[in-house]
Structure 1
Amino acid sequence: MPDIDLNTTVNTTLTLWSSLLTIIVSFALGIMISVTYIKTHVRGYYSQNFSLTLILIPSVIAVIILLVGSNVARAFSLAGAFSIARFRSTAGDPKDISYVFFSMAAGLACGVGLFGYAALFTILLCAFIVILCKIDFGAKKTCSKILKIIIPENMNYQGAFDDILKKYTTNYQLYKIKTTDLGTLFELVYTITMNSDKNEKEFIDELRCRNGNLSIVLSMDANTSDS
């Protein structure tokens, strides 16, 4: 008679009802996490695909934990399968990464059968996130902006706009210079903090007089600037 590997019989105690309960609870927690993500996202702008992914992640993780159980060989096989997958999406908001780990933790807790703890920490963390969002925790008092100025190639850009920038901003820094239009123009990129007492239109008008009425772009948020 062949030997029986006890590891292969670990998950035979799974029942249909316990599996359904695990999937339902993890799915419900995923919805709660996704709704929190939608309600607390900056300016109400969010990715629908990511919000749907947050709903599915807990259920997927829970099912994986159910199937793997305590089978070490199966766990290593699963790790090998995941190592083959390559994520090619661009890096997003760092907060989105925390939501992914949040969803995975909820699914892991459901997968091992700790439904009460999973629900408790999900509710608490969602509440904490909402509170932090409501009090605008970590928000800057002043808004950093991006200023892009096009100048002709024969213009010396070093200190060319310093007097205007000192007049209309509380802080500025030239952090990038590049050629454009086949090298016939220069693009200067500044990070600036506008003086709240100054008029932005007057600021741009003075810059236009200095750069020969070439293109000037003032982005409202430094985080939205083009690379």
Structure 2
Amino acid sequence: MSLQSLLQNAAGQSSSITMTTFLIDIGAALIIGFMIALVHMYKSSYTKSFVVTVAVLPAVVAMVIMIVNGSIGAGIAVAGTFSLVRFRSAPGSAKEIAAVFLAMAAGLACGMGFLLYAFLFVAIILTAILLYSLSKFGSQSNKARTMTVTIPEVLDYTDVFDDLFKKYTDECRLTHMKTSNMGSLFKLTYSLKLKSEAAEKDFVDEIRCRNGNLEIIIHRSIEEGEL
């Protein structure tokens, strides 16, 4: 089969789409895109450009599928639309990537005329996202911390804080160590879980006494409402 015949077949199949079918499919895709964008904004940090993109993406994908309504054309269109995720200008969070894939899947269904299945699928997935967001599923403990402590080279970094960790933490492990200031200082990074958040200040004060009041950095886990 020549390339010319393939193009002619695709053109013939595309011309069979009526204006009514086109408007219904695109309208349904826009409604679904709005639903996905609305749920994505719930308990998430977002930009207007990304939300608008997610809202119109199902309609764009649906249009591509309607135009190339042959089996070969549809395969090329699917590969092309899913490659959009790779070439986003900025790295996205897990929730943003999920929103893009959901929007494209809904657009594919709308473009192929499966409007009821598209609405049903999106409704189920969005309900699951809302339930997961409202629950504590996957949330880290509020007592989890990442601590970076600077100590002088005269201290043995392997066990210098062991007694304090037993006193103030339930879990603790040394995850990273590096030298600084031409080897005169050690910078130690620990992943730990406090026994009590109320005792965090006392814990830091005792660390300061032990390390000679050198630099201490504590990071808390930040929840952004992601999947």
TM-score (norm: length of structure 2): 0.82
Tell me if 1:111 matches 2:114. no
1:129 has 2:129 as partner:
yes
* 1:101-154 deviation per Cα after TM superposition (whole angstroms, max 9, x unaligned): 211111111111111221122122212221222232233456421011012234
Q: Please say if residues 169 and 195 of structure 2, whose CA atoms lie closer than 8 Å, have aligned partners that are also in contact.
A: yes
- 1:1-227 equivalences under 5 Å are 5-41=8-44, 45-70=45-70, 72=72, 75-76=75-76, 79=79, 87=87, 89=89, 91-140=91-140, 143-196=143-196, 199-221=199-221
Aligned residues, how many? Answer: 219
Q: Distance in 2 between matches of 1:135 and 1:74?
A: 39
User: Structure 1: which 5+ residue stretches go unaligned?
Assistant: none
Secondary structure of 2:160's counterpart equals: coil
Q: 1:87 to 1:154 in 2, by over 3 A?
A: farther
* Cα pair distance change 1:121/1:53, threshold 3 Å: same
Q: Is the 8 A contact 1:144 1:222 kept in 2?
A: no
The amino acid across from 2:56 in the alignment is: L
Mean alpha-carbon deviation: is it higher for 90-99 or for 183-192? 90-99
Q: CA deviation at 1:168?
A: 0.4
Q: Mean alpha-carbon deviation: is it higher for 115-124 or for 138-147?
A: 138-147
| CA–CA distance in structure 1, aligned partners of residues 183 and 138 of structure 2 | 41
Secondary structure at 2:158's aligned position in 1?
Answer: coil
| Identity percentage of aligned residues | 35
- 1:87 positional shift: 2.2
Which moved further from structure 2: 92-101 or 183-192? 92-101
> What is the SS of the residue equivalent to 2:15?
helix
Going from structure 1 to structure 2, the CA distance change for 1:191 and 1:49 (only over 3 Å counts) comes to farther
Question: 1:196 Cα deviation (Å)?
Answer: 1.8
Using the size of structure 1 for normalisation, the TM-score is: 0.82
Gaps of 5+ in 2: none
Change (3 A) 1:172 1:85: closer
Look up the equivalent residue of 2:193 and give its one-letter code.
T
Please tell me the root mean square deviation across aligned C-alpha atoms, in Å.
3.0
Q: Greater CA deviation, 159-168 or 16-25?
A: 16-25
| CA distance in 1 between partners of 2:10 and 2:150 (Å) | 68
Change (3 A) 1:93 1:86: closer
Partners of 2:190 and 2:155 in 1: CA distance? 17
